[in-house]
Amino acid sequence: MSWMRKMERKFGRYAIPGLMRYVIILYIAGFLIGLFAPEFYNDYLALDIGAVLHGQIWRLVTFIIAPPDTSLWMALIVLYMYYMIGDNLERRWGTFAFNFYFLMGILFNILAAVITYIAFAGETFTVGTYFLNMSLFFAFVTEFADAQFLLFFIIPIKGKWLGYLNAAYFIVTIVGGLLYYVNPVISIWLMTRLGIPAFPQYALAALFSMLNYVVFYFIYRQSYRPTAAQKKVQRQFRAGMAEVKKMERTRAGQPIHRCAVCGRTELDDPNLEFRFCSKCEGNYEYCQDHLYTHQHVTKPKNQED
């Protein structure tokens, strides 16, 4: 049995179901603190390693309440988006794996702060939860590459393209920050024009966020990859599905599958895959684009079976 599966069997009962909803509540608390006492977070809650070494160890946890944005309208949008991201990742991976990823992101954030404190002679540099949330976003667009977002609330764009854009942003942030040691003038000139802080500490935080993403996927793929017997079952299933699709094509104009959300059938796209949702009460089938993102259907309480 793989290492992560052993961890899940041993500690899985401690995993928090619906973790992201509690994180969102903490973000809301952080937003209210920033609204009514703007300096309180930095003075008492932010991840300040110097203050931690002087006994304020609660900062190792309380720094995560930093809200993603200080504007009410943008905060509501971003909080909804991150709730959706976290909820869908938990459904895809399972409760333990999602808890593990989020906790590892916190630990990498702390590690980046410790290294920054040591490397820069006790200088405090905090970035809140920005890169922690970005690592969640990278995981989401990896798992749901075809999920659509509205860029500028107007332009529909698939998640994978946003993932590429953010990866480019991270690369420029890391390279530009390291360039500061070689030629600070060029580094500041370049980063200023791109709207990115020209600080080596910022680059270090971005680097550790990417490490969280890479390390988790290495562990996850190694731990949850199918066994030889499972691969055989998968091959048999795919062969059976190919035969079924071949038979379906002979039924011209008579779709067998239909997505309950978008209404598409196998006649619209022969490559579409359809699955039934075990959480929906009733005979509801969804295409691959809406299987993990649809609203579950439940029967009214006064409706008899």
Task: Give the mean pLDDT of the chain.
Answer: 77
Task: Kindly report, residue by residue over 129-176, the tens digit of the pLDDT.
Answer: 777 888 888 888 888 877 777 766 677 778 788 888 888 888 877 777
**Can you say how many angstroms the Cα of residue 257 is from the centroid of all Cα atoms in its chain?**
30
For residue 1, the model assigns a pLDDT of: 46
Q: What is the pLDDT of residues 252-305, one digit of tens each?
A: 567 778 888 888 887 788 788 888 888 888 788 888 888 888 888 876 655 544
The mean per-residue pLDDT over the stretch 64-76 comes to 76
pLDDT single digits (tens) 92-111 = 888 888 888 888 888 888 88
- Report residue 79's pLDDT band, with 50, 70 and 90 as the boundaries: confident
Instruction: Give the lowest-confidence range in 2-6, 122-126, 213-217, 235-239.
Output: 122-126
